[in-house]
Structure 1
Amino acid sequence: MIPLLHSPRGEGFEHLRLDAITSLEIGWFLTVPVSLAAGALWVGFSSRRPRPAPPGFVLGGITVAFGSLVLSQAMAASRWLNGSPDGVGDPDGEYVLAAFAELSGAVTLPVGAVIVISRGVAVRRSRKMTVPALTNR
């Protein structure tokens, strides 16, 4: 994804952060529905497939890290926007966008935790093997 879809309105790191969050939200609105539709079509057309393995620890860790990054940056942008910054055209609209990014990060964190926990449960279940007792007869 292109990191910045347009140039920041003002100078400084805060404007760059706000522009990155805006670009991220636009990218999510474009890619998530397309990937969900493609996944639904793929599952619908492939009826004879084996049961998939649960997602791995790496995917869960990346999801948790990404969620925490988005959440922390969106919270910082929200605090900055509450102070009536210079160079922001509509602070209320930008604040709503930052609040939506906070919500996205807050949802992404537990999703990553669920992925890690489900993989841990699957690994634990796969290691429990019943070994028949040996009989010397």
Structure 2
Amino acid sequence: MWFLRFLAIGLLGGTVMIPLLHSPRGDGFEHLRLDAIVSLEIGWFLTVPVSLVIGAWRVSFFSRRRRPAPPGFVLGGVTVAFGALVLSQAMAASRWLNGSPDGVGDPDGEYVMAAFAELSGVVTVLVGAAILIDRGVAVRHSRKGVVPASTSR
């Protein structure tokens, strides 16, 4: 579960890189969407490994800190919503790239990037869903308290 937690944090942390990496090549919302998707993917290549390394150090036996609490419903819900947003925007960008868009240098290369973003969106939704399912099962098990039988007559 720790792996999924830090993977989700890395995926959500990739959004910080969107305004820093790319500038739109053309005019219009479609070009802005495509450049945001490409920037997000570049951001993921930077933030996900860093997040996983920091998470491995934080959970390792060599760390003197306590282990972090298990991920909860908020992280799972935000991750599912973010993955759905990425998936919907990547699907819209790939539909736009299937036509003959103006101002795109290599439509095939950009289409591959949009397809990779679709795959990443699906993975993000699955990571969030796994966190939600695991947390729901943990809550259900914690509420099934066993009440000891009374020993007095």
TM-score by length of 1: 0.91
Task: Please name the residue that 1:70 is paired with.
Answer: 86
Greater Rg, structure 1 or structure 2?
1
Task: Please name the residue that 1:85 is paired with.
Answer: 101
Are 2:110 and 1:94 aligned?
A: yes
Q: Cα RMSD over matched residues?
A: 1.7
TM-aligned CA deviation for residue 48 of structure 1: 7.9
Q: Deviations over 1:36-90 (max 9, x none)?
A: 112222323227846x543111111101100100000000000100102000011
Cα distance in 2 for partners of 1:6, 1:114 equals 32
TM-score by length of 2: 0.82
- The answer for unaligned runs of 5 or more in structure 2 is 1-15
Contact 2:76–2:129 (CA<8 Å) still a contact in 1? yes
Are 2:35 and 1:19 aligned?
A: yes
Task: Please name the residue that 1:10 is paired with.
Answer: 26
Task: Please name the residue that 1:31 is paired with.
Answer: 47
Q: 1:55 aligns with which of 63, 68, 71?
A: 71
Instruction: Report the count of equivalent residues.
Output: 136
Cα distance in 2 for partners of 1:49, 1:3 equals 33
Task: Please name the residue that 2:126 is paired with.
Answer: 110
Partner SS state of residue 87, structure 1: coil
Task: Please name the residue that 1:46 is paired with.
Answer: 63
Contact 1:54–1:122 (CA<8 Å) still a contact in 2? no
Contact 2:18–2:43 (CA<8 Å) still a contact in 1? no
- The letter of the residue matching 2:126 is P
Cα distance in 1 for partners of 2:69, 2:120 equals 26
- The answer for unaligned runs of 5 or more in structure 1 is none
State, as a whole percentage, how many aligned pairs show the same letter.
Answer: 80
- The letter of the residue matching 2:63 is S
